[in-house]
């Protein structure tokens, strides 16, 4: 048959209300045209974010029953760390059932050896008993909690060593919260993706197929290091997939090369691993040498290059909440930010500082503001994300939507689609007529809500704060809106409705208003809180 074979179905149903344009207009006015404040219950299709909006699987719902709500070292803590070791470090997603059932294991000797007191020397998760002496894995409620703790502690350490100095943190593309956290530590975020790769198109034509448009531009990275000096770059980030840069995938080659440069200068190499599984899927399908490897095997190699990572597991944890901050035992991150005595013994372990900060903000390391049941759902969700059929179905949905826009004649669609959404370049959509401070992309998003009850997210000039950036940073902004595909939620009917709506809006683009920021202009992450006006 010439159609995709269905790979999942759902038993839970939610009805969508009928809402008029006038009602949505009233709600937009009342919420000061702030998309994030628009009531979800009045929307027809909500594509604002793929974060935490996942429909969990039956396996996850049942895993929740096994969670326990102990204050210290609940079962889920061990199961989750083990799931992370399986998916990120052992390249083995076969043990899931055993691990989940093991939480009720009566063989205490076995549990002590394999889970409770295990050490994972050299890895990202030393887990169990070792977490007390050398903490290096911190559960978090979500990704930005991991970022804020990381950057707050790094800021303190650097300020104590060299007061008043400004640091630069390069990435292939920082997410807006990562940028916000870096700015709040007084440092400069830089996005060194390869602009030529992204825009290798004849104007108005189809984007050529390059499967790894999210890669770090290695030449730019080297130039930046030479220009600002190794000593002013406390860490180098790579975001997989590259959400800010149209959700594009990052090749293993790029990750390997970035790690090599970072390590040449003894700079810690960090991953923002929110969409680790989708990135592994793209590597499997499009990079030579990976076709026969499992998603978990590819993840194992990918994580082997980093010295630490932050991750929102509300994405590729297939869960509604969860995050993690972890660093490699005695890797470059640990070496750079710990203090040592003259004889080489550790004076202050950075892990302890992070742990104290975590306890004061999110509770202890074995729950990080999550309930025991949510931790179990997340553990099961990590294994779900290793499922090739699930990933394929998801990426095909993104592709269906992107191709649908393209075939409908909408200009500026980024092809190929990323793994979690579809992006439309607003400069092209508006035929280059609107300029950078019109915030027409936000106008597009609000008009899509007003006319059709579809919410998407602007990730361009407005949210990425084009007008507040330096000339170098301005050149790094990609002026896009994103149609996020929620995990395991949509049917083709949802996507066809969205395609028809965007086609209609494109044909009437002249009448889409520009937006003016009425308040909250200069505060970080303004799209979450600012008031707007057409
Ligand atoms: N890093 C990336 C790459 C992200 O996409 C996000 C969140 C975060 C970090 C922060 O994680 O939301 O759990 O605190 N992205 C969502 C989005 C909000 O819609 O793309 P969080």
Q: Where residue 102 falls among pLDDT bands split at 50, 70, 90?
A: low
Which range has the top average pLDDT, 117-126, 171-180, 209-218?
171-180
- Domain range for 180 is 130-385
Q: Does residue 463 fall inside a structural domain?
A: yes
Its pTM surpasses 0.80: yes
* Residue among 50, 52, 175 whose CB has most ligand 1 atoms within 8 A, to mutate: 175
Shared-domain flag, residues 394 and 381: no
Q: Does residue 104 fall inside a structural domain?
A: no
Q: How confident is the model at residue 331, as a pLDDT?
A: 93
Q: Does residue 69 fall inside a structural domain?
A: no
Shared-domain flag, residues 324 and 206: yes
Given a cut of 60, whether residue 391 has pLDDT beyond it is yes
**CATH of residue 454:** 3.90.1150.10
Shared-domain flag, residues 230 and 323: yes
CB-CB contact of 334 with 327 (8 Å): yes
Estimate to the nearest angstrom the gap between the alpha carbon of 125 and the chain centroid: 20
Q: Does residue 335 fall inside a structural domain?
A: yes
Counted domains in the chain: 2
Shared-domain flag, residues 358 and 257: yes
Shared-domain flag, residues 397 and 291: no
Q: Does residue 177 fall inside a structural domain?
A: yes
Q: Does residue 80 fall inside a structural domain?
A: no
Task: Name the residue at shortest CA distance from atom 21 of ligand 1.
Answer: 143
Q: Distance, CA 50 to ligand 1 centroid (Å)?
A: 9
Q: Where residue 209 falls among pLDDT bands split at 50, 70, 90?
A: low
Q: Does residue 15 fall inside a structural domain?
A: no
Given a cut of 60, whether residue 421 has pLDDT beyond it is yes
Shared-domain flag, residues 398 and 272: no
Strand pairing report for 236-239 and 516-519? unpaired
**Tens of pLDDT, residues 140-158:** 999 999 999 999 999 999 9
Looking at every residue in the chain, the average pLDDT score rounds to 92
Q: Does residue 230 fall inside a structural domain?
A: yes
Shared-domain flag, residues 395 and 381: no
Shared-domain flag, residues 265 and 285: yes
Shared-domain flag, residues 196 and 310: yes
Shared-domain flag, residues 426 and 490: yes
Contacts 24+ apart (CB under 8 A), 399-402: 400/492, 400/495, 401/483, 401/485, 401/495, 401/498, 401/499
Which atom from ligand 1 is nearest to the alpha carbon of 49?
19
pLDDT, mean of residues 483-488:
96
Which atom from ligand 1 is nearest to the alpha carbon of 142?
13
Shared-domain flag, residues 363 and 397: no
Of the residues 354, 370, 385, the one at which a domain ends: 385
Per-residue exposure over 222-259, b if at least 16 CB sit within 10 Å of its own CB, e if not: eebbeebeeebbbbbbbbbbbbbbbbbbbbbebbebbb
Q: Where residue 107 falls among pLDDT bands split at 50, 70, 90?
A: confident
Of the residues 352, 385, 418, the one at which a domain ends: 385
Shared-domain flag, residues 400 and 436: yes
Q: How confident is the model at residue 133, as a pLDDT?
A: 83
């Amino acid at each position: 048959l010439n159609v995709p074979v269905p790979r999942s179905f759902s038993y839970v149903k939610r009805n969508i209300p009928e809402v008029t344009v006038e009602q949505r207009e009233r709600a937009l006015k009342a919420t000061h045209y702030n998309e994030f404040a628009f009531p979800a219950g009045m929307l027809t299709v909500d594509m604002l974010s793929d974060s935490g909006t996942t429909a969990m699987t039956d396996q996850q719902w049942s895993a929740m029953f096994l969670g326990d709500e102990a204050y210290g070292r609940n079962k889920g803590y061990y199961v989750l760390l083990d799931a992370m070791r399986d998916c990120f470090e052992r390249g083995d997603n076969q043990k899931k059932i055993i691990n989940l059932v093991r939480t009720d294991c009566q063989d205490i000797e076995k549990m002590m050896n394999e889970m409770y007191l295990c050490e994972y020397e050299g890895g990202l998760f030393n887990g169990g008993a070792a977490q007390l002496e050398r903490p290096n894995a911190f559960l978090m409620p979500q990704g930005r909690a991991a970022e804020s703790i990381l950057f707050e502690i790094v800021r303190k350490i650097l300020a104590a060593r060299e007061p008043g100095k400004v640091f630069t943190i390069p990435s292939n593309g920082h997410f807006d919260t990562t940028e916000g956290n870096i700015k709040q530590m007084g440092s400069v975020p830089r996005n060194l993706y390869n602009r030529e790769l992204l825009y290798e198109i004849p104007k108005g034509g189809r984007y050529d197929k390059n499967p790894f448009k999210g890669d770090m531009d290695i030449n730019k990275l080297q130039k930046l290091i030479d220009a600002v000096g190794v000593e002013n770059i406390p860490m180098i980030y790579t975001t997989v997939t590259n959400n800010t840069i149209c959700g594009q995938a990052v090749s293993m080659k790029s990750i390997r090369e970035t790690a090599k440069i970072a390590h040449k200068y003894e700079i810690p190499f960090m991953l923002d691993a929110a969409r680790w599984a989708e990135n592994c899927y793209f590597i499997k399908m499009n990079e030579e040498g990976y076709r026969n490897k499992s998603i978990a095997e590819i993840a194992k190699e990918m994580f082997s290059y980093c010295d630490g990572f932050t991750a929102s597991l509300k994405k590729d944890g297939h869960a509604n909440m969860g995050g993690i901050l972890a660093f490699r035992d005695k890797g470059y991150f640990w070496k750079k930010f710990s203090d040592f005595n003259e004889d080489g013994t550790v004076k202050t372990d950075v892990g302890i500082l992070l742990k104290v900060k975590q306890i004061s903000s999110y509770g202890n390391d074995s729950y990080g503001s999550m309930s025991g049941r949510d931790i179990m759902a997340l553990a099961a969700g990590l294994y779900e994300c290793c499922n090739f059929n699930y990933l394929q179905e998801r990426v095909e949905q993104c592709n269906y939507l992107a191709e649908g826009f393209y075939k409908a004649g909408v200009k500026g669609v980024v092809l190929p689609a990323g793994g979690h959404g579809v992006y439309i370049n607003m400069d092209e959509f508006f035929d280059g007529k609107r300029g950078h401070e019109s915030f027409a992309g936000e106008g597009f998003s609000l008009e899509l809500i007003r006319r059709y009850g579809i919410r998407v997210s602007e990730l361009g000039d407005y949210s990425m704060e084009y007008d507040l950036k330096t000339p170098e940073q301005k050149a790094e902004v990609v002026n896009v809106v994103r149609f996020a595909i929620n995990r395991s939620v949509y049917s083709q009917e949802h996507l066809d409705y969205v395609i028809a709506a965007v086609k209609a809006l494109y044909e009437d683009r002249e009448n889409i208003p520009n937006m003016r920021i009425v308040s909250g202009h200069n505060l970080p992450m303004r799209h979450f809180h600012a008031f707007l006006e057409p």
